[in-house]
Amino acid sequence: MTSDSSASIHVLHLDDDPALGDLVQLYMEREESGLDCRVTTETSASRALERLDADEETFDCVISDYNMPEMDGIEFLERVRECHPELPVLLFSGAETNEVASEIIGAGLTDYLQKGVGSDQYTMLIRRVEHALESDGQFDADVEAQLDGVGIVGADEYFDEADDLYASLYGYDPEDVTGKHWSELHPDDEVEHIRTHVLPVVESGGEWRGRSEGLRSDGSTFTESKLVTALEDGRMLIAVSEIDERALDTEE
């Protein structure tokens, strides 16, 4: 498959499945995508790193799988960040967000998209690449609702860490969330609900998914879609995205 060397965006795609690499290249390079780009595909992480470090090529964005034989997506990301701290890097992976979120925090990932079925996943991938380029490779609170903000709560019920998106949903910077008790990010009636219905499920080793109410730093509240699950070390992982209340009114 050939690529247009005159395209304005150059994307490096790493996936050990060559067939998937061909599909990503096909969808991203076609005129209907609305993205003027060419895609270079590699099936080897070491070869992808060599391409990134080569003087004759410049990439605007990197897309990587997570589960790969040579090194996983986070290890690859860490290697990329050693020499390219501001290059947008997206994970396009079959692994569920909550399975890799604790590794993603602090690793410098720009975005994450879970692989799906059909052509819609490639359309979403194109939109995520556009967003990554527009936001200079950084997480943005205005990103699509499918992207969850992630926080980690310690066994003492205080936050150990939170990514930019998680913190911004509540009106904070990540360093402001670290050290807070989880109850400070919810109104009182929601705190009681979480203690009664959510924590018992998680503390028994389960996973809770549902709607909740978040409390922002300015005192306003918002409806959130939340996943809470226990980590092996006794901490809790919380993944949150904001729900559009207008959409809820339409559903009702």
Residue 141 in any domain: the answer is no
* Tens digit of each residue's pLDDT (9 = 90 or more) over 206-240: 778 888 899 999 999 999 988 888 887 788 989 88
Together in a domain, 165 and 130: no
Q: What pLDDT shows up at residue 31?
A: 80
* C-alpha 215, offset from chain centre: 22
* Torsion sign across C-alpha atoms 1, 51, 61, 151: positive
Residue 15 in any domain: the answer is yes
- CATH at 246: 3.30.450.20
In the chain, pLDDT over 70 holds for what percent of residues?
83
If one compares 126 and 184, the residue with the highest pLDDT of the two is 184
Residue 143 in any domain: the answer is no
- CATH at 20: 3.40.50.2300
Residue 162 in any domain: the answer is yes
Above 50 in pLDDT, residue 252? no
Above 90 in pLDDT, residue 184? yes
Together in a domain, 32 and 129: yes
Q: Is the pTM of this model over 0.75?
A: no
Q: What pLDDT shows up at residue 6?
A: 55
Residue 225 in any domain: the answer is yes
* pLDDT-based confidence at residue 197 (cuts at 50, 70, 90): confident
Above 60 in pLDDT, residue 2? no
As a whole number of angstroms, the distance between CA 157 and CA 57 comes to 47
Final residue of a structural domain among 134, 157, 186: 134
Final residue of a structural domain among 84, 111, 134: 134
Together in a domain, 222 and 107: no
* Tens digit of each residue's pLDDT (9 = 90 or more) over 39-97: 999 999 999 999 999 877 899 999 999 889 889 988 999 999 888 988 999 888 887 65
Together in a domain, 111 and 157: no
If one compares 245 and 178, the residue with the highest pLDDT of the two is 178
Together in a domain, 14 and 126: yes
Residue 148: exposure state from Cβ atoms within 10 A (0-12, 13-18, ≥19): buried
* Torsion sign across C-alpha atoms 12, 13, 16, 20: negative
* pLDDT-based confidence at residue 36 (cuts at 50, 70, 90): confident
If one compares 7 and 70, the residue with the highest pLDDT of the two is 70
Residue 77 in any domain: the answer is yes
Q: What does pLDDT average to over the chain?
A: 83
What's the whole-number mean pLDDT along residues 10-21?
A: 93
Least confident of 4-13, 99-108, 219-228, 229-238: 99-108
Together in a domain, 243 and 213: yes
Residue 4 in any domain: the answer is no
Q: How many CA atoms lie within 13 A of 137 on its CB side?
A: 16
The domain in which residue 72 lies consists of: 9-134
As a whole number of angstroms, the distance between CA 225 and CA 213 comes to 9
Together in a domain, 130 and 182: no
| CA 108-111-116 angle, 5° bins | 140
What's the whole-number mean pLDDT along residues 138-142?
A: 42
Together in a domain, 61 and 118: yes
What's the whole-number mean pLDDT along residues 143-158?
A: 74
Together in a domain, 208 and 129: no
What's the whole-number mean pLDDT along residues 155-169?
A: 91
Q: What pLDDT shows up at residue 165?
A: 85
Residue 140 in any domain: the answer is no
What's the whole-number mean pLDDT along residues 163-167?
A: 88
Distances (CA, A) of 177 to 183, 185, 216: 11, 9, 11
Final residue of a structural domain among 134, 165, 200: 134
Together in a domain, 110 and 49: yes
Together in a domain, 161 and 128: no
Together in a domain, 38 and 123: yes
* C-alpha 174, offset from chain centre: 15
Domain count, the chain: 2
